[in-house]
Structure 1
């Protein structure tokens, strides 16, 4: 059996985090939480690996785009990074710093499912 998709959920809103993690559990994902961009960056600095990161835009300590910029600067190009925000203006910023995709909040279940499926397919293709 394939290993579960490792998801890092970077979200300071407990409600949004709960909603997203409930949706992710439907796809049997292994979920790790970070409360802000700094925790997100620190996890990568510790050498932790994830298949996909769902990252909120507006957070305390370090914003989503700032964290994405740092992660990409560290050479982490394999991880799929999804920028999330209720603010449409965040899309341009996320894409500029290296996010793979931007999804407006609230995220729809079918949109999330398609992204998780894409990551699963990519994992299958890279396994030897």
Structure 2
């Protein structure tokens, strides 16, 4: 299978969808991890934007990245910009409790494919996943 438009699948790799959860809040990471597990999506979790960038530098690729906006060390806006600058074409969905229109616009302009307000629900997650398929 060739690499998809958005995802990171390559020849010889599993057809299973992969995701990276990026959130500094352990409860949110756990919820997002379990929602993805329930959908059969292989996923990893990291706690800030720098870790998200670093895991991509290590060569890992994901079909989907769930990116929080407010995190220490490197926030979601900066991490999204860096990932796009690196040529990462995964679907990146911003997930935040922030509702200020200007902040959401800045996050979208950083390179998001989607934005969902927390709490992330199964229906919101399915809507994001449909952007990949």
Partner residue in 2 for 1:110: 123
1:5/1:116 contact within 8 Å kept? no
Work out whether 1:50 is the aligned partner of 2:57: no
Determine whether 1:91 maps to 2:91.
no
1:18 CA displacement: 1.0
Q: State the secondary structure of the residue aligned to 1:116.
A: helix
Spell out, residue by residue over 1:48-90, the C-alpha distance to the aligned partner (whole angstroms, 9 max, x if none). Answer: 10000000010110000100000111122x2100011101133
More helix by share: 1
Q: Distance in 1 between matches of 2:30 and 2:60?
A: 22
1:65 matched to 2:111? The reply is no
Distance between the aligned counterparts of 2:43 and 2:87, measured in 1? 23
- Work out the CA distance in 1 between the residues paired with 2:22 and 2:127: 19
Deviations 1:86-115 (A, max 9, x none): 011331121111111111111121110122
SS of 1:102's equivalent in the other structure is strand
**Matched-pair contact (CA < 8 Å) for 1:37–1:59:** yes
5+ long unaligned stretches in structure 2: 1-13
